Amino acid sequence: MIVKWNSWSLNKHHHILIKFAVAILFSGLTFRLYVAHYNGFASDLQSSMPEKDQVLEQNVAIPENKEQIPIEKCDLFKGDWIPNPSGPIYTNESCRWIEEHQNCMKNGRLDPGYLYWKWKPRDCELPLFHAKRFLELMRNKAWALIGDSISRNHVQSLLCMLSTVDRAVEVYRDGENKSKRWHFPSYNLTVSNIWSPFLVTAAIFEDINGVSTAEVQLHLDKLDKAWTDIYQSLDYMTISAGQWFLRAAIYHENDAIVGCHLCPGKNLTELGFVYAYRKALHYVMDFIVKSKHKGLIFFRTSTPDHFENGEWHNGGTCPKMSPSKAGKAEMKELSKILYGIELEEFDKASAKAAEYDVNLMLLDFMNLLLSRPDGHPGPYRQFRPFAEKKAAVVQNDCLHWCIPGPIDFLNDVIMDIVVKKSLHYPIRRSVCVGISRSCEAETSHLPGYN
């Protein structure tokens, strides 16, 4: 009995050991499969995380020293136009803010190809403009676009893009219908267009068609109060000038006539537009640098035109129907001169701006727009110009931009800059301008792309 019991006990013990070993082996295998499955699931989960969560994780990792925040280095202004099958985010029918001269499709332009391109920087990705994100960034803020008709052209584009999310309400216009202001009520954002083509004080004489009837009286050492009076109340602004300095003008300094541009028979010293533009920009930049403004100030370079075989007044046209190939677009001599002055004056001001802690940035859109000769209204600045006669001789516009059109991508670039700059410093509390509204939002870091 004892022997049998011992044999049975031994067999049972051996059997238990085998089962235990098998269990361990099975458990190990199961664990490996589970880990492999979990890792795969975690990887899939990470790759499918909403962009918002990813941004939040990045925000947690931001160092306390804001100057050490890693920002991708990329020149947003060097790139190429590439096909964009999705087209613009709005149409001429969905936006009510397009002025007649820039409403190319309504006016009968038949080739829509110019709508299906997008700007692609060569060294990085440029996120497409996201109206809701931009409006969230701009909650309780005041924007202004200050300058000539290109700034008005630009503000129409911005209004159209933002109006896909919130309806803009016009709250102000001046007596000449040139300076206007809009309000986006859901976000308490104001967007202004300030008409100031010279940025300095000017008396302009022209007829209803915009043709000069006398020389402009230009005070080169007096800034235009149309923009300086509201300057400190703005959180963001783009300032630009350029083409108007090519007009015939009498120049004043210290309340005395010092010379002119294109004034034969006036017995005045011909100083030329280069003198005037450099002098005016010097005063503009000096004002900005010493202003102690705590918002974000963009200086935008002037816009090239694409007139061929003439100009505005003598039959110039812009027949191109596609973007220029990389490196093939040539800048006109006058544009080179204006552009060179702008870069020189900005460079001199930017170093001083840093000393005064003023946030001054350059928007160098010359190359981006130079390569889009297809984006102008051309003859379609007026309604159906060839309806009565196919060979009609009509005025062409090869300076302004169709809306929608290439000018929309200025907003893509500006939004990307604003998002990245917001990681470095807070934009101050907005000051109310022009309308009755609450401005109780505390100063805080602007959110990024989320």
Alpha-carbon gap, residue 408 to 394, rounded angstroms: 26
Task: Tell me whether residue 313 is one of the annotated catalytic residues.
Answer: no
Amino acid at 345: E
The alpha carbon dihedral of 167, 108, 86, 238 has a sign of negative
Residues in CB range of 187: below 8 A, 6 or more apart: 135, 136, 138, 139, 140, 166
Q: Which of 192, 400, 408, 416 does the annotation list as catalytic?
A: 400
Residues 221, 279 contacting (CB under 8 angstroms): yes
Query: Which phi and psi (to 5°) does residue 218 adopt?
Result: -115, 120
Of 359, 369, 326, 75, residue with least CA distance to 238: 359
Greatest alpha-carbon pair distance for the chain in Å reads 141
For residue 416, CA distances in Å to 72, 96, 128, 267 come to 11, 26, 9, 51
Q: Which residues are CB-neighbours of 108 under 8 A, at least 6 positions away?
A: 380, 383, 384, 385, 386, 387
347: its two tokens: 């460079």
Considering 80, 148, 149, 430, which one is annotated as catalytic?
Answer: 149
| Rounded (to 5) percent helix, strand, coil in the chain | 35, 20, 45
Angle between helices 272-289 and 333-355 (to 10 degrees): 20
- Altogether, the residues listed in the chain come to a count of 450
**d(Cα 92, Cα 377) in Å, to the nearest integer?**
13
- Specify the pairing of strand 200-203 against strand 216-223: antiparallel
Residue 32 half-sphere exposure, CB side, CA atoms within 13 Å?
A: 5
Q: Is 149 a catalytic residue?
A: yes
Q: Is 196 a catalytic residue?
A: no
H or E element in which residue 237 lies = strand 236-239
Cβ–Cβ under 8 Å, residues 215 and 166: no
Order of strands, sheet of 216-223, starting from the edge strand that comes earlier in the sequence: 200-203, 216-223, 249-253, 256-261
Catalytic residue from among 224, 235, 364, 397:
397
Residues identified as active-site: 149, 397, 400
